[in-house]
Amino acid sequence: MIYKLQRGMDMAYTIEKRDEIIVFEINRPTIHNAINGEVVEGFKQLVQRVKTDSSIKFAVITGVGEKRFVQVGISLYSIC
């Protein structure tokens, strides 16, 4: 089974499940995948799915782009 949560073309993350693997991908490459409130909420969804879906054996956290997995710290734009 594969499912993907999407919120439009400019979503900050995706969660995709492939059989027993769930993948959380941060999609903010122009700012080095800096974490914002939307990404934090997505991560909470990921944790909840892992806790409630006994078929999930592995979780992968990754980021879009070639330079960095994720920027250390939080996006200041999201809190200003």
- What percentage of the chain reaches a pLDDT higher than 70? 74
β-strand partners of 56: none
pLDDT-based confidence at residue 75 (cuts at 50, 70, 90): low
Name the class of domain 2-78.
alpha beta
Question: What do you get for the CA distance between the two ends of the chain, in Å?
Answer: 40
Distance between CA atoms of residues 58 and 34, nearest Å:
24
**1 Cβ contact partners less than 8 Å away, ≥ 6 residues apart:** 17, 18, 19
- What percentage of the chain reaches a pLDDT higher than 90? 39
pTM value is 0.77
Quote the pLDDT of residue 69. Answer: 72
> Above 70 in pLDDT, residue 7?
no
> Above 60 in pLDDT, residue 71?
yes
